[in-house]
Amino acid sequence: MSVTFDKLEALLKQNGTLTNEEVEKMIAEHGALTHDEALTLEADRHKLHRTSGQQITMDEYLAASKILDTADEGSEEYKKAEEIVNKYESGG
């Protein structure tokens, strides 16, 4: 496996999550992932997400959606709300 893949897997295990921005940054710093590495990493991300036991409720989703409409893009509040919305929309 590549250095990029190894670092991303370590980051995923350490944090329990991995954002697309973290993946893009790591790829920019250490090089691209192979197709198989990208598939493995994505599968590991989804497996960790599914087994985390953290379900997003409709109320949490709606509240987060409102924050996305009002908060400054890029703010910490916006990022947290965006994470909630993305988890809910992906089946979490």
80 lies in which domain range?
A: 58-89
- Is residue 88 within 8 A of residue 56, CB to CB? The reply is yes
pLDDT at 40: 92
pLDDT at 56: 79
CB count within 10 Å of CB 91 equals 10
Instruction: Show contacts of 69-78: CB within 8 Å, 24+ apart.
Output: none
Residues 43 and 63 in one domain: no
Average pLDDT over residues 4-21: 89
pLDDT at 34: 93
Residues 30 and 67 in one domain: no
DSSP secondary structure letters along 79-91: HHHHHHHHHHHTT
Share of the chain above pLDDT 90, in %: 46
The whole-angstrom separation of Cα 87 and Cα 19 is: 11
Residues 43 and 11 in one domain: yes
Instruction: Write the pLDDT tens digit of every residue in 45-79.
Output: 877 766 666 677 888 889 999 999 999 988 999 99
Q: Specify the number of domains making up the chain.
A: 2
Residues 7 and 42 in one domain: yes
pLDDT at 92: 59
Residues 36 and 67 in one domain: no
